[in-house]
Amino acid sequence: MIIVLRQGTTQKEIDQLTDVLISQGGITVNPVIGTDITILGLIGDTTHVDATRVESFHCVERIMHVAEPYKKANRMFHPQDTVVNIGGAAVGGSRLAVMAGPCSVESSEQIKTVARAVKQSGAAILRGGAFKPRTSPYAFQGLRYEGLELLKEAREATGLPIVTELMSPSDIDRFVEDVDCIQVGARNMQNFDLLRQLGKINKPVLLKRGLSATIEEWLMSAEYILSGGNEQVILCERGIRTFETYTRNTVDIGAVPVVKRLSHLPVIVDPSHGTGKRWMVSPMARAAVAVGADGVMIEVHNDPQHALCDGQQSITPEQFDEVMADIRVIAAAVGREV
């Protein structure tokens, strides 16, 4: 349930109404005070709320019922776009956030070389995998904690904030201390114990869409984090599994405007994992920007042919520079900047 308040409602009136609502039991009240509108979002069992009594308050404009199961992720609950800050880089708002770096951290020289290159081209955030979930147990699984240390060295060398994937709840404290944004991979999108724990921390979370997840299921996973108190959630469309086998996954570009309509959370696109083909990264990145994505996440490797992970979808620093030039043009056409 959402209670829309009249313009000019005072804080005293908000507090009085909130006290009445809480006294009816079973709900929590989340005030959202915006530039043009102020609302009270009610979470919990709202069947006990006396709507007639609520409407008797002079400050109440109208009452709206939220049909969707996700509440805090719902745009009705939070009309203004959320902007998430990752180490000084904004995700959301007028500026596009470009995250770039290798699929896996392989060495100190490799990660620093790529970090310097993507920063020079205009990337604002460094991505790199320290822990790698792989379909095969025999594939390269990442450098793990050593990889985290190398990412920190690259951050120190370039000033770029870092985003990397968390695999286990037992590592949350380490990640909170070491990284600027915690990534939840597609395979963990519905690891609800992990999501609950991430709701208790004060750190941005990048939530990738699951392999076969619907948009509602994706938003419900975000709801787990938001409901715990952590409102710094970024959604990432990284391709879903369909009947098509030519590409690694099918990038659901249409999910971007849908999510922007349904939710206030920023959403970015990963064209590298979405297609699995390096030659498709540039056109899909352009498409993502054109439909309103708040950023892109691109895999860049200084030697893709010898990459230990996903070399076939990684582009070189020189190719990344060309991609950045392309998306700057598209960004300008849709009122954004890079």
* One domain for residues 177 and 264: yes
Residue 126 confidence (pLDDT): 98
Pairing verdict, β 2-5 and 60-64: antiparallel
Within a domain: residue 266?
yes
* One domain for residues 93 and 59: no
The structural domain count of the chain equals 2
Q: What type of residue sits at position 283?
A: P
* One domain for residues 104 and 223: yes
CA 213 – CA 215 distance, rounded (Å): 6
Residue 67 confidence (pLDDT): 84
CA 92 – CA 28 distance, rounded (Å): 27
Residue 46 confidence (pLDDT): 85
* One domain for residues 91 and 60: no
Within a domain: residue 147?
yes
Higher pLDDT, 46 or 60: 60
pLDDT for residue 199 is more than 90: yes
Residue 229 confidence (pLDDT): 93
Mean pLDDT of 234-246: 96
* One domain for residues 221 and 307: yes
Residue 166 confidence (pLDDT): 96
* One domain for residues 114 and 15: no
pLDDT in tens, 265-317: 999 999 999 999 999 999 999 999 999 999 999 999 999 998 888 899 999 99
pLDDT for residue 45 is more than 90: no
Within a domain: residue 73?
no
Give CA separation, 99 vs 41, 152, 300, in Å.
Answer: 33, 16, 10
pTM of this structure: 0.90
The strand pairing partners of 62, in sequence order, are 4
pLDDT in tens, 80-119: 999 999 999 999 999 999 999 999 999 999 999 999 999 9
CA 1 – CA 3 distance, rounded (Å): 7
Indicate the pLDDT class of residue 43, thresholds 50, 70 and 90: confident
pLDDT in tens, 116-163: 999 999 999 999 999 877 777 777 777 899 999 999 999 999 999 999
pLDDT for residue 74 is more than 90: yes
Strand order in the sheet with 2-5: 27-33, 38-44, 2-5, 60-64
Within a domain: residue 226?
yes
Count of CB atoms within 10 A of residue 55's CB? 12
Indicate the pLDDT class of residue 36, thresholds 50, 70 and 90: confident
Residue 277: phi and psi, rounded to 5, are -135, 125
* One domain for residues 313 and 248: yes
Helix (H) or strand (E) holding 226: helix 215-227
* One domain for residues 323 and 281: yes
Q: Is 322 helix (H, G, I), strand (E, B) or coil?
A: helix
* One domain for residues 34 and 89: no
- Answer for the pair 222, 207: CB distance below 8 angstroms, yes or no: yes
In which domain, by residue range, is 40 found?
A: 2-64
Nearest Cα neighbor of 67 from 113, 5, 1 is 1
User: Dihedral of CA 302/306/312/313: which sign?
Assistant: negative
* One domain for residues 49 and 110: no
* One domain for residues 28 and 159: no
Indicate the pLDDT class of residue 227, thresholds 50, 70 and 90: very high
Residue 271 confidence (pLDDT): 97
Dihedral, CA atoms, 49, 52, 58, 61, nearest 10 degrees?
A: 80
The CATH code of the domain that includes 46 is 3.30.70.1140
Indicate the pLDDT class of residue 205, thresholds 50, 70 and 90: very high
* One domain for residues 274 and 329: yes
Nearest Cα neighbor of 78 from 197, 292, 223, 215 is 223
